[in-house]
Amino acid sequence: MRNSLSERMTRWLSWRVAKSKRRAAAAVYAKIYRDASSNISDTVLIAGSGRSGTTWLAEMVSEQLDARLLFEPFNTRLVPEYSEFNYFQYMRPEERDDALEQFVKRLFEGKIRNAWIDRRVSRVVSMRRVAKTIRANLFLGWLHMKFPQVPQMLIIRHPCAVVASRIKQEWATDGDLQPMLSQRGLVRDYLADKMDIIRRASTPEEKHAIVWCIHNIVPLRQVGATNLPVVFYENLSLNPIDELARIFALANLPLDREKVKSTQRPSGTSTKSSAIRTGEDVVSAWRNRITSAQTKRILAVVEAFGLDYLYGDTDTPIGNAELLATRTSRSSI
């Protein structure tokens, strides 16, 4: 017991020291860095639902590419240039929005500097950029159409793990659902036949699960897994080198396998109670944080949305990326 407590304390102290160092370095780099290239094709976009591992994946990709990390650039509350848009903006792929297109163009060119966006900068000069976001899932198809030269990656994590983490962090339920349900186009295209499920949701876990479902069903149907490299968090955790090699090959990006070993550390947004900090199994730790009844309610929502081909009551994904590609196809919406 004492050894276990000592190990946890050691991990916690190491995390605190490393986090303090990263913050101090980022504060300096954010003031002096420069982008050596303004080519849009030198930007990679990493998207996913909140608490799905987007920061961890983005940090690994940034390290691989010696890239500047653009942190949550589609935050309407903290990025003034983006304040006019919806908190979870929805766009049909062929839809026109000149203001949004201009913002994204400047972002992908590296021309937007912002204390929030640059809070994870870790180098002085960068040829490439990695944009990490949990707020672009609902217009990844639009981004794919407007900026096909920008590689995209979508990370998906077990819904029970995501919900457990969101509950732990006291994230909003209705506050996240309202910006999505207020968009008539999104409701008409993807949610019209799900409104009874949404209205019946009464528990926090059901509402968090609905957020997860909406954030994943839209990009998988808009873009399709054949055009959008999908990373399963669990596969990345269990086999990071091979999983990164797979998605880097799909995105036509160079991979240094030795660098992968040095970047398998916790992300800058993981908390002191995260499994990766406490020494728990990162893939199954969620089982200790929610009840079996909560698990059943979450998976019932996932099944109702038709996403039970992704995950069930197991720790890892039901299928692989190849199977996912056969289950999704790009729609005309």
pLDDT tens digit string along 74-115?
Answer: 999 999 999 999 999 999 999 999 999 999 999 999 999 999
Which three-class secondary structure state does DSSP give residue 46?
strand
How far apart (Å, rounded) are the C-alpha atoms in residues 312 and 87?
Answer: 29
pLDDT tens digit string along 234-267?
Answer: 999 999 999 999 999 999 999 998 888 766 655 5
For the chain, domain boundaries: 2-327
Percentage of residues in the chain having pLDDT higher than 90: 74
Give yes or no for residue 117 having a pLDDT over 80: yes
Q: Pick the residue with more confidence: 125 or 331? A: 125
The predicted pLDDT at position 314 comes to 95
Instruction: Provide the β-strand partners of residue 308.
Output: none
2-327 has which fold? Rossmann fold (3.40.50)
How far apart (Å, rounded) are the C-alpha atoms in residues 14 and 19?
Answer: 8
Torsion of CA 212, 216, 218, 223, to 10 degrees: 170
Give yes or no for residue 185 having a pLDDT over 90: yes
Mean pLDDT of 132-145: 98
Mean pLDDT of 48-55: 98
Lowest-confidence range among 176-180, 291-295, 296-300, 322-326? 322-326
The predicted pLDDT at position 26 comes to 67
Buried-state track 240-277, b at ≥16 Cβ within 10 A, e below 16: beebbebbbebbebebeeeebeebeebbbbbeeebbbb
Give the CA distances from residue 8 to residues 46, 145, 273, 279, in Å, rounded to whole numbers and listed in that order: 31, 47, 10, 7
Is there a contact between 186 and 138 (Cβ–Cβ < 8 Å)? Answer: yes
The predicted pLDDT at position 49 comes to 98
Q: Pick the residue with more confidence: 4 or 91? A: 91
Task: Locate 110 and state its tokens.
Answer: 């590296």
pLDDT tens digit string along 273-286?
Answer: 554 444 468 999 99
Lowest-confidence range among 118-122, 166-170, 196-200? 118-122
Mean pLDDT of 214-230: 91
Give the CA distances from residue 71 to residues 39, 45, 153, 187, 320, in Å, rounded to whole numbers and listed in that order: 19, 11, 15, 28, 28
pTM for the model? 0.87
